A and B are shown apart, each in its own frame.
Chain A
Amino acid sequence: MQYDFDEIIETIRMTEIEHFDIRTVTMGISLRDCADKNLEISKKKIREKIIRYAKDLVKNAKEIESQYGISIANKRISVTPISIPFDSYTSEEFIEIAKTLDLTAEEIGIDYIAGYSALVQKGMTNGEKELIKSIPYALSQTKRVCSSVNVASTKAGINMDAILMMADIIKLTAELTKDKDSIGCAKIVIFANAVEDNPFIAGAFHGVSEPEVSLNVGISGPGVVLDAIKEAGKVDLQQLSEIIKKTVFKITRAGELIGRKVAEKNGIPFGIVDISLAPTPVEGDSIADILKAMGLEDVGATGTTAALAMLNDSVKKAGLMASSSVGGLSGAFIPVSEDAGMINAVLSNNLSLEKLEAMTSVCSVGLDMIAIPGDTPSSIIAGIIADEAAIGVINDKTTAVRIIPAYGKKAGDLVNYGGLLGKAPVMNVKMLANSNFINRGGRIPAPIRSLTN
């Protein structure tokens, strides 16, 4: 037979038992040609353009799904950072744009549309300021729109004014969506070194250097890696790294195949495959469980950062070999609410915010889906964002903060969103004052690393 019996069984096991799936196929659509002085015309152009390219996205993805027997969990859309084409708009007008995006997403049957974004690492235009001010209202008045703001980069440094503003925006969003456990905050990502082709919501946007339209794929297979590690038994770390690489290689190849086929079916160019290990709240689909299988009692134990670093690096290396279109964030995600093992580690007091921060210096993104007490002051939230941005800027990597100051909740409570967003225990935050530092404002200059020319 052309394929070994075991090879075929391995694939079936990955897709049917170990939850290997394509986490998302995300169509990136440029909206740069949709701006008009007249808001109504802009809205019409946006709707028409998105529908023109993406009307069959869901249908086509479903067909490919059944043809190849690999499930595609989410079908989504990212657009040009809205502040760029519509820079002349006011907050009120931006909110109207958000509503149009929301309605259009509903019309074509997708659950999230991302790109209500601004890139302000060095400074803000008037339009960007207006967009950022509108975020809490836009997110509380829509269901599907996701927002992100890039506040720092290795080349530009850290825009502390923007961080201060974002801390207030997050607090206000939490308040405006208090009826739903402050869910609005789950749809805001604050980035350092944001990437332009990330397919993962909520932080996705269609960067300015991207083509008119492209299709990016995010794969996910923590369960597959977990089982491979368990099966390996007692091997040394070099061998373990080999095993992780071999496994990730296979799922990346499958991811690229599916991405190309979906792109082909939609008649648009294929962009990248993002080889991230993205957990879900489902049992066994967990990064925490991988770290435990590597030999830790629980996430948060000493050695956690080293184990995660190795995992993240092995994932990247395998992906690079498997596909020449690797992009996006590509690594291991460590969200709290979306990973059953991480939730348990927090609940049993094994994992603190400080350890999570250390882990983000070696994982692919950052502090993700973390609930903190609703009365946490803005300056403390700004401090958390600034720390995370510093890790990204100095290490020349993407970092992000998606934090939920859950309105009316205190440490030890639980916020529950259900579905892929999962549930998050409200974590304890150190309340030591930092405002004399944070409120200085201005910009932390770009590090020595930025001078590479």
Chain B
Amino acid sequence: MKLTEEEIKKITYETINELSGNLTVEEIKEAIKRKILLTKSYDLKLKERKIPPERVILTAFGLNKPGIIATVTKALADFNCDIEDLSQRIIGDFFTMIMIIDISISNKELKEIQNEMERIAKELKIKIYLQHEDVFRYMHRI
């Protein structure tokens, strides 16, 4: 984690205010270092709490043709999405694929991934749905 100059200034002022007078420069430096460390770990903890594992379920349907899985997985890889499970069926000419994807480490929001998938779906003339896992958990698990 990098701190901006502004943040370092703020922490320094806060620390000096908290300390009582008559301190050496060294002591002040030490106190500020401790404070920065504390800030760091606090921030990290917050971050961990902020991003619970988020999984979405991708469902794709359409007429089978070469390159569907390749195109979809390439896009997911570009977005740093982790495919946890994949299953597909081909009945006649019809293709169905279901993926469970972890998007918590992705640098994109679900909406952006959905938009990209919509673009791919149009290009491949298939249908792709991306829904939060909770819908399936609520409907099919007690």
Contact = CB atoms under 8 A, between A and B. Distances in A.
A1 B129 contact: no
Contacts of B130: 69
The 7 closest A-B pairs by CB, nearest first: A69-B131, A253-B138, A250-B139, A257-B138, A7-B140, A68-B135, A68-B132
A8 B134 contact: no
Contact of A257 (B96, B135, B140): B135
Given A1-B87, A68-B134, A257-B138, 4 more contacts: A3-B57, A9-B59, A11-B135, A69-B129
A321 to B, nearest CB: 9
A437 interface: no
Contacts of A69: 129-132, 135
A256 B87 contact: no
Nearest to B130: A69
A1 B98 contact: yes
A326 interface: no
Interface string A88-126: 000000000000000000000000000000000000000
A66 B114 contact: yes
Contacts of B122: none
Most buried by B among A9, A11, A63, A254: A11
B interface secondary structure, majority: strand
Most buried by B among A12, A66, A251, A256: A12
B13 interface: no
A11 B130 CA distance: 12
Interface residues of B, number: 22
A interface secondary structure, majority: helix
Contacts of B98: 1, 3, 5, 8
A322 to B, nearest CB: 9
B85 interface: yes
A67 interface: yes
B138 A2 contact: no
Contacts of A16: 127, 129
A2 B135 contact: no
A294 interface: no
Contacts of B100: 1-3
B89 interface: yes
Contacts of A9: 59, 96
A1 B85 contact: yes
B57 A254 contact: no
Contacts of A254: 135, 138-139
A423 to B, nearest CB: 32
23 contacts: A1-B87, A1-B98, A3-B98, A7-B136, A7-B139, A8-B98, A8-B136, A9-B59, A10-B140, A11-B139, A12-B59, A12-B129, A16-B129, A63-B111, A66-B114, A67-B132, A69-B129, A250-B139, A253-B138, A253-B139, A254-B139, A257-B134, A257-B135
Contacts of B139: 7, 11, 250-251, 253-254
